[in-house]
Amino acid sequence: MIRVGIIGGAGYTAGELIRILVNHPNARIEWVHSESSAGKFLYEIHGGLFGDTGLRFTDQVSLEAIDVLFICSAHGKSAEFWASHKAPSGLKIIDLAQDYRDESEGYVYGLPEWQRERIRTAEKVANPGCFATAIQLALLPLAKAGLLGGEVSVNAITGSTGAGVKPGATTHFSWRANNISAYKVFTHQHLLEIRRNLSKLQGGDIAPIDFVPLRGDFTRGIFATAHLPCPLSAEEAQQLYKDFYSGARFTFVSDAPVDLKQVVNTNKCLLSLEKHDGRLVISSVIDNLLKGASGQAVQNMNLMSGLPEDAGLKLKASAF
């Protein structure tokens, strides 16, 4: 059994991570760290875990007692943690924050559809951002083919859980319900990792990505739509994408339009393509808490540990 520790255990991503790991056939949670919730049962914070585990939060960190560490703390906190702790030899680390997504400090960027073989041999993985996952999966095949030469426009709408568990003016129910708004237009922080990685794959700088993020009136999921000039026919583009993702365990190219309910509560990404007046339109749907965070983190753990990629992740969408 893989012994797991979790830091930052009171947030949404940690709650989803625990939900997956308590049912994972090859993993056992040794401890979940949270200073604010120390001593409480996990289910007192993550109500959906009632009846699944009797573990309590702890304010102690024992890195020698685990094989894999998941860091679910806020962005910027990982570097603070490692300033006062030393990783024992052999410890595998999966960081869900953005601190090391530039692959600094020996981290490998953990997008399996792009870097599966590097992840298999990595000791430290930086888990991608949620918008970054949905948008990169929409564009990776084009980057590989050298076709990101024209300006890319992206609109993507996310559920409220993407903002984290701490309430704010744009996350509480009375504001979010029956409402929609744009934010961080053309400036969202995930653009850095998206452009960096797509440029690496294409082998040179890519055209600008004009990204408009939207807050949606729902709790979880991301629906991203990218469009750009493309010389391929609809049939050629479809074949390009199906060939690129032929070995992917969780990313699939649909012949029909896709929707959020097909992926919520799963680790899947579904893609659909259309061609209009010389522009290729790619729709990409994921669950922001699973393929966009904790599900992908477990997928990375499986790869790093030599397990089947889908271990613990055979989850079915709730379609109604």
End-to-end, the C-alpha distance of the chain in Å comes to 35
Where residue 291 falls (left for φ over 0; alpha for ψ -120 to 50; beta otherwise) is alpha
Residue 163, pLDDT score? 78
Assigned domain for 263 exists: yes
**Residues 260, 147 share a domain:** yes
**Residues 115, 26 share a domain:** yes
Assigned domain for 31 exists: yes
Which residue matches tokens 């076709």? Answer: 147
Residue 192, pLDDT score? 93
Residue 148, pLDDT score? 95
Assigned domain for 313 exists: no
**Residues 67, 55 share a domain:** yes
Q: Rounded CA gap, 38 and 57, in Å?
A: 5
Residue 170, pLDDT score? 84
Residue 210, pLDDT score? 97
Residue 169, pLDDT score? 82
**Residues 222, 206 share a domain:** yes
pTM (predicted TM-score): 0.96
**Residues 123, 138 share a domain:** no
The DSSP secondary-structure symbol of 131 reads: H
Assigned domain for 311 exists: no
Structure tokens at 284: 């990409």
Print the domain residue range for 246: 130-286
Over the chain (320 residues), what is each successive 10-residue block's mean pLDDT? 97 96 98 95 96 96 97 91 95 96 97 98 97 98 95 96 80 88 95 96 92 96 98 98 98 98 97 97 98 98 98 91
Domain of 47: which CATH number?
3.40.50.720
Residue 320, pLDDT score? 78
- Our answer to whether residue 269 is catalytic in this structure is no
For 223-262, the DSSP string reads EEEEEEE--S-HHHHHHHHHHHTTT-SSEEEESS---GGG
B/e letters for 118-155, b = 16+ CB within 10 Å, e = fewer, are ebbebebbbbbbbbbbbbbbbbbbbbbbebbebebbbe
* Nearest C-alpha neighbor of 278 from the set 234, 236, 225, 244: 234
**Selected catalytic residue, list 72, 130, 230, 269:** 130
Residue 128, pLDDT score? 97
Q: At what angle do helices 190-202 and 130-144 cross, to 10 degrees?
A: 20
Assigned domain for 319 exists: no
Residue 42, pLDDT score? 97
Assigned domain for 314 exists: no
Q: Are strands 209-215 and 181-182 parallel, antiparallel or unpaired?
A: antiparallel
**Residues 266, 182 share a domain:** yes
Residue 318, pLDDT score? 84
Residue 248, pLDDT score? 98
Assigned domain for 276 exists: yes
**Residues 188, 117 share a domain:** no
**Residues 277, 223 share a domain:** yes
**Residues 217, 167 share a domain:** yes
Q: How many domains does the chain divide into?
A: 2
Residue 226, pLDDT score? 98
- Count of Cβ atoms closer than 10 Å to residue 88 Cβ: 11
**Residues 245, 229 share a domain:** yes
Domain of 251: which CATH number?
3.30.360.10
**Residues 119, 43 share a domain:** yes
Assigned domain for 45 exists: yes
**Residues 211, 145 share a domain:** yes
Structure tokens at 187: 């400036």
